[in-house]
Amino acid sequence: MDIQLEKKKGLKPKHFGYIALGVLLLFVGYKLLFATSMSTFRTEKERLSIASVTAGKFDDYITINGSVAPIATIFMDAYEGGRVSEKLIEEGSMVKKGDIILKLENMNLYEQILASESNLALKQNDLRSTKLTFDSRQVQGKRSLADAQFELQRSKRNYEQNKALYEDELVSKEVYLQAQEDFQLAQKQYDIVKIQTEQDDELRETSLKGLDADMERMSKTLSMVYERLDHLNVRAPADGQLGFLDAEIGQSIAQGERIGQINVLTDFKIEANIDEHYIDRVKRDLSATLERNGKEYALRVRKVYPEVRNGRFQVDLVFTDDKPETIRAGQSYNIRLQLGESNDAMLLPKGGFFQSTGGQWVFVVDANGNEAIRRNVRLGKQNSRYYEVLEGLEPGDQVITSNYDSFGDAERIVLK
């Protein structure tokens, strides 16, 4: 007897083809739907810069351009105003401290000096006259005191003699009383003359001290005026090179006006301007290197200026060891400023896209190279060649790195 076999349930080989065809149709439909829902920009691939994301060492540095300047610059301001009468040293010349660079003349200052000298002479004459008057009064006072003392002694002797005679009843009481009264009057007159003489001496001493102090002040004032006269000779404040001199013969210079500068050439520094993007990372004592004729020279940041002008701030760098032998003020150098240690990272070459997106998103080219889709990313530090990729990209991704301004609001770029 025949046994009927049941058909096995399940997928047959031909079913796999149907399934694959369905999945393909769904994928194509999704792609078409997704493509039509995104804004698209079409451009030629040759007009774009495309770079690959790579894995490697990220060197945390920036390249800046700096110019050589003297280690110090001392400005020369006119202590006194006047007309330039003589110019002794020209710009660019080497000078020693104290060398006369300019000579000025100031008629008003000359008149002030003459007036001060006249006042001092008058004061000296007054002092001499006062001293003579006090000396005369002092002599007169001593003479009066001597006369009073002589009269006192004589009156006292006469009184004592009459007193003894009166006690012996040899003279009348009237004679005795007159002698006593003469003695008492002489005593009082002597006391008065003595007090007056002492007061005159004290007055003389205090008055002469005051006059001497006035004389000393006037002498100092005259000395200061003479110093002002010397300041009409504009001198070099330090050894160095006369950098510039803004003065010509016959020119009027105002007091306090800046007329030149001295460049101290005992050493040099490099002045550089850096984009404000790095202002929080650039600190004092950061290391840097300068390359010249195949040799590197070590530098360090000596000063960071806080002011930001036109989107840039200034730093001063100094050499920590040797410096180029032929270094001159005004020369320009490219300097590699180290901001931090090197580390492993994903690297994206720098390009104009950053100015368009701020590093928040990029266009990533697909595997076929026919289109690029906008993708959000997160970038970290940057140096002169690369951005550090923190999120959103993988090694091998192809990224459009040229400027995106012409793409508008497109989310998809079709590459022809």
Model pLDDT, residue 213: 81
Cβ distance 339 to 288 under 8 Å? no
Please say if the pLDDT value at position 166 is more than 60.
yes
Cβ distance 294 to 110 under 8 Å? no
pLDDT digits (tens, 9 = 90+) for 110-122: 888 888 788 878 8
CA-closest candidate to residue 88, choices 102, 77, 105: 102
CA-closest candidate to residue 148, choices 197, 198, 186: 186
Cβ neighbours of residue 101 closer than 8 Å, sequence gap 6 or more: 76, 87, 88, 89, 95, 234, 235, 236, 242, 245, 260
Model pLDDT, residue 17: 62
Cβ count within 10 A of residue 256? 10
CA-closest candidate to residue 82, choices 113, 110, 118: 110
Q: Rounded to an integer, what distance in angstroms lies between the CA atom of residue 269 and that of residue 71?
A: 5
pLDDT digits (tens, 9 = 90+) for 358-385: 889 999 999 888 999 999 999 988 887 8
188-193: average pLDDT: 91
Q: What are the structure tokens assigned to 10, written together?
A: 């399940």
pTM: 0.50
pLDDT class of 37 with cuts at 50, 70, 90:
low
pLDDT class of 35 with cuts at 50, 70, 90:
very low
Q: Rounded to an integer, what distance in angstroms lies between the CA atom of residue 178 and that of residue 176?
A: 6
Q: Rounded to an integer, what distance in angstroms lies between the CA atom of residue 108 and that of residue 228?
A: 12
CA-closest candidate to residue 234, choices 90, 106, 79: 79
Please say if the pLDDT value at position 33 is more than 70.
no
Model pLDDT, residue 123: 79
CA-closest candidate to residue 81, choices 243, 228, 278: 228
Cβ distance 245 to 90 under 8 Å? yes
Please say if the pLDDT value at position 254 is more than 80.
yes
pLDDT class of 137 with cuts at 50, 70, 90:
confident
Mean pLDDT of the chain: 85
Please say if the pLDDT value at position 18 is more than 90.
no
Model pLDDT, residue 299: 93
The DSSP line for 189-241 is HHHHHHHHHHHHHHHHHHHHHHHHHHHHHHHHHHHHHHHHHHTTEEE-SSSEE
Please say if the pLDDT value at position 171 is more than 90.
no
Model pLDDT, residue 16: 57
43-62: average pLDDT: 90
CA-closest candidate to residue 108, choices 82, 73, 130: 82
Q: Rounded to an integer, what distance in angstroms lies between the CA atom of residue 179 and that of residue 170?
A: 14
pLDDT class of 34 with cuts at 50, 70, 90:
very low
Model pLDDT, residue 10: 52
Q: Rounded to an integer, what distance in angstroms lies between the CA atom of residue 383 and that of residue 388?
A: 9
Model pLDDT, residue 100: 92
400 vs 340, residue with greater confidence: 400
Please say if the pLDDT value at position 23 is more than 70.
no
Please say if the pLDDT value at position 2 is more than 80.
no
The structural domains of the chain, with segments of one domain joined by +, span 37-58+344-415, 107-227
Which residue is listed with tokens 């009409």? 232
Please say if the pLDDT value at position 395 is more than 90.
yes
pLDDT class of 132 with cuts at 50, 70, 90:
confident
Q: Rounded to an integer, what distance in angstroms lies between the CA atom of residue 141 and that of residue 406?
A: 111
2-22: average pLDDT: 56
Radius of gyration of the chain (CA): 51
Please say if the pLDDT value at position 67 is more than 50.
yes
Buried/exposed 161-190: b ≥16 CB within 10 Å, e otherwise: ebeeebeeeebeeeebeebbebbeebbebb
Model pLDDT, residue 1: 44
Which residue is listed with tokens 């006119």? 78
231-255: average pLDDT: 88
Question: What is the chain's length?
Answer: 416
Q: Rounded to an integer, what distance in angstroms lies between the CA atom of residue 357 and that of residue 311?
A: 19
CATH class of 37-58+344-415: mainly beta
Torsion of CA 201, 207, 209, 214, to 10 degrees: -170
Q: Rounded to an integer, what distance in angstroms lies between the CA atom of residue 367 and that of residue 261?
A: 64
pLDDT digits (tens, 9 = 90+) for 138-153: 888 889 889 989 999 9
Model pLDDT, residue 99: 92
Distance of CA 93 to the CA centre of its chain: 26
Strand partners, 105: 83
328 vs 187, residue with greater confidence: 187
